């Protein structure tokens, strides 16, 4: 079964997992009290506190004889996170969808080498035969060869429901793949 892969860089986001745990620490006694009764003292490390954290998905906590081990689940929010999830809807089976941040970084650092062959347009996509360069250090690159195709297009805000601006995206796939469907999404596909 071919995979759909989406990659991008998210640089602006807020982790609300930590905020939830801080809120819970202040209000846990009242959250655990039966309705209409005054709360009993509860603090971090109590069995009921640990159970509540685990049940609400706020933190996975395990109590040993000496201490409580806790791992907080990250839960990021922000416009770049929203955009990333909207971009996943444009992912295509058997390829890698590259979001706008990585696409612009690859272009700025010349990590895509256009071979100049087979440039064409199809359903709003600009397609070219591409060599991908892997950076080994400053000014040191290795090419992965010209066996890849890079399709680029602008994804308007209307296709991203709730994200206020459009962005450029890219799709990388093997040159000889015949089953790549580079269709522009229709209004019903978002």
pLDDT in tens, 92-130: 888 999 999 999 888 777 676 665 555 667 778 888 877
For every residue of 63-102, DSSP letters joined together read E-SS-EEEEEPP-EESHHHHHHHHHGGG--TTEEEE-HHH
Per-residue confidence (pLDDT) for residue 27, from 0 to 100: 74
Q: How sure is the predictor about 138, in pLDDT bands with cuts at 50, 70 and 90?
A: low
Q: How sure is the predictor about 188, in pLDDT bands with cuts at 50, 70 and 90?
A: very low
Rounded CA separation 7/27 (Å): 38
For every residue of 2-21, DSSP letters joined together read --EEEE----S-EEHHHHHH
Rounded CA separation 92/183 (Å): 9
With 0-12 / 13-18 / 19 or more C-beta atoms within 10 angstroms meaning exposed / middle / buried, residue 81 is middle
Rounded CA separation 64/38 (Å): 29
Instruction: Report the relative pairing of strands 125-137 and 120-122 from DSSP bridges.
Output: antiparallel
Per-residue confidence (pLDDT) for residue 160, from 0 to 100: 87
Query: Is a pLDDT exceeding 60 seen at residue 41?
Result: yes
Per-residue confidence (pLDDT) for residue 82, from 0 to 100: 93
DSSP 167: E
Among the listed residues 65, 93, 66, 81, the one whose alpha carbon sits nearest the alpha carbon of residue 3: 93
Q: How sure is the predictor about 190, in pLDDT bands with cuts at 50, 70 and 90?
A: very low
Rounded CA separation 50/61 (Å): 6
């Amino acid at each position: 079964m071919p995979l759909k892969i989406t990659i991008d860089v998210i640089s602006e986001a807020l982790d609300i997992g930590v905020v939830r745990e801080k809120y819970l620490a202040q209000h846990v006694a009242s959250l655990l009290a039966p309705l209409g009764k005054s709360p009993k003292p509860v603090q971090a490390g109590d069995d009921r506190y640990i159970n509540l954290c685990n049940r609400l998905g706020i933190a996975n906590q395990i109590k040993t004889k000496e201490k409580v081990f806790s791992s907080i689940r990250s839960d990021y929010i922000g416009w770049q996170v929203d955009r990333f999830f909207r971009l996943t809807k444009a992912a295509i089976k058997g390829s890698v969808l590259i979001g706008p941040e990585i696409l612009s970084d690859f272009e700025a650092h010349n990590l895509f080498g256009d071979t100049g062959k087979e440039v064409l347009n199809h359903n709003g996509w600009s397609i070219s035969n591409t060599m991908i360069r892997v950076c080994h250090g400053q000014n040191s690159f290795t090419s992965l060869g010209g066996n890849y195709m890079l399709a680029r297009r602008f994804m308007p805000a209307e296709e991203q429901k709730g994200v206020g601006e459009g962005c450029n995206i890219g799709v990388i796939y093997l040159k000889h793949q015949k089953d790549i469907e580079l269709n522009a999404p229709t209004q019903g596909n978002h």
